[in-house]
Amino acid sequence: MFDNSSAEPFAKGLVQVFTGDGRGKTTAALGTVIRALGHGLKVCIIYFIKGDSPSGERSILSQLPNVTVLSYGSGEFIDPANVKPKEKEQAEQALTAAREAMLGGNYNIVVLDEVNLAAAWKLIEVDEIIRLIKDKPQNVELILTGRQADTKIVQNADLVTEMLKIKHSYDKGISARMGIEY
Amino acid sequence: MFDNSSAEPFAKGLVQVFTGDGRGKTTAALGTVIRALGHGLKVCIIYFIKGDSPSGERSILSQLPNVTVLSYGSGEFIDPANVKPKEKEQAEQALTAAREAMLGGNYNIVVLDEVNLAAAWKLIEVDEIIRLIKDKPQNVELILTGRQADTKIVQNADLVTEMLKIKHSYDKGISARMGIEY
């Protein structure tokens, strides 16, 4: 279906972080995935928090070749001040899946969606993420998204972008819209 | 091919801007497009500057339903201090196409890729973009990307996100990699 003749994976994969309160963290990772798929690269996306909630991107991704989507978490509200054992367990499972995807040799790019927030909420330990980064094979690109990226994560990344909210009409009371925000 | 049964376009389309020196402006727009396509919405993406240069995203987009990609510009280096008439002409054509896409009633989302930069480089007038924004039908979402978004554009937008470069290993001399940066 796709012309993969140009596929020639990069030799040096980096660690990218998209963080900040602004829009575009998950969508920037998603756009990067689409671009990579267009070049015939292989991608694994691991959702740490969003779970199986219906979401437009998954409907498309599930029909594209060379991309695996793994979802963890219930998609329900998590209270950072009162994290449940079940929630920690699911995030730990996501982390295990991330390690397997990264080390298994089947993917050029591994995306860890909301992993920064999972660490900020103490669903997983920051040090576990740092260990993952340090164990990254040279030819794998690792992309971490989510608000509140820990300083240690920033220090260990190659590319860090903060999405800064300059103006946001949610503040004017417009609620999330299907097809745009989810 | 895709399940569009959930398609129910939003009633109130907004004007979104992704700007700043950091990564993720075009990819955030692209990710938003994928999400929207997953809900059965119809999208038109207009490239103002990049032209027909090979690019991973276009390889995928060209094979998805409900998305039209229009490319303007040569994709070659533009010297902002010495803009050529041909370059202005192509950007004007992109703007005309944007207006038609926005007003034609066929699209829920219209993406203007690098339109901010086209205005900053004076390929087109900022006031023409403002007129476009003011003429936007209520049910169309307009997404503008590119560095150096003019203050007037920011004032007339609903959602503005600045991609801020926190850390960038290009500064360490790693060149752009196929499948990731293009």
Q: What is the pLDDT of residue B171?
A: 59
A110 touches A44 (CB < 8 A) = yes
What's the whole-number mean pLDDT along residues B26-31?
95
Mark yes or no for CB contact B164/A161 under 8 Å.
yes
Mark yes or no for CB contact A177/B12 under 8 Å.
yes
3-state secondary structure of B60: helix
* Residue A175 covered by a domain: no
Q: Say yes or no: A54 contacts chain B, CB-CB below 8 A.
A: yes
**Rounded Cα gap, residues B161 and B52, in angstroms:** 27
**Rounded Cα gap, residues A101 and A107, in angstroms:** 7
In terms of pLDDT, which residue wins out, B159 or A179?
B159
Q: What length is written for chain B?
A: 182
* Residue B97 covered by a domain: yes
Alpha helices in A78-172 (DSSP H): 85-103, 115-120, 126-134, 151-156
Q: Number of A:B CB contacts under 8 A?
A: 218
In angstroms, what is the C-alpha Rg of chain A?
16
What part of B 130-159 touches A (C-beta under 8 Å)? 141, 154, 157-159
* Residue B120 covered by a domain: yes
Mark yes or no for CB contact A161/B157 under 8 Å.
no
Q: In chain A, how many domains are there?
A: 1
Indicate which CATH number applies to the domain containing A123: 3.40.50.300
Residue B106 identity: N
* Residue B67 covered by a domain: yes
Mark yes or no for CB contact B179/A35 under 8 Å.
yes
* Residue B178 covered by a domain: no
Percent of chain B with pLDDT over 90: 74
Mark yes or no for CB contact A180/B18 under 8 Å.
no
* Residue B36 covered by a domain: yes
Mean pLDDT of chain B: 89
Q: Say yes or no: A10 contacts chain B, CB-CB below 8 A.
A: yes
Residues of chain A contacting B54 with CB distance shorter than 8 Å: 6
Least confidently predicted of A12-16, A59-63, B20-24, B38-42: A59-63
Distance from the Cα of B108 to chain A's closest Cα (Å) equals 10
pTM: 0.90
Residues B155-174 as b/e (b if ≥16 CB within 10 A, e otherwise) read: ebbbbbbbbbebbbeeeeee
Residues of chain A contacting B133 with CB distance shorter than 8 Å: none
Q: What is the pLDDT of residue B1?
A: 32
In angstroms, what is the C-alpha Rg of chain B?
16
Mind listing the pLDDT tens digit for each residue in B111-131?
999 999 999 999 999 999 999
Q: What is the pLDDT of residue A174?
A: 62
Q: What is the pLDDT of residue B54?
A: 60
- Domain range holding B28? 15-164
Task: Report residues of chain A scoring pLDDT below 70.
Answer: 1-9, 53-54, 170-174
Residues of chain A contacting B57 with CB distance shorter than 8 Å: 31, 34-35, 38
Distance from the Cα of B109 to chain A's closest Cα (Å) equals 9
Mind listing the pLDDT tens digit for each residue in B67-115?
999 999 887 888 999 999 999 999 999 999 999 999 999 999 999 999 9
Mark yes or no for CB contact A57/B31 under 8 Å.
yes
3-state secondary structure of B22: coil
Q: What is the pLDDT of residue A36?
A: 94
Alpha helices in chain B (DSSP H): 25-38, 56-61, 85-103, 115-120, 126-134, 151-156
Q: What is the pLDDT of residue B177?
A: 78
B10 touches A2 (CB < 8 A) = no
* Residue A7 covered by a domain: no
* Residue A182 covered by a domain: no
- For B60, the closest of A20, A34, A174 (CB atoms) is A34
Phi-psi map region of A162: left, alpha, beta (phi>0 left; psi -120 to 50 alpha): beta
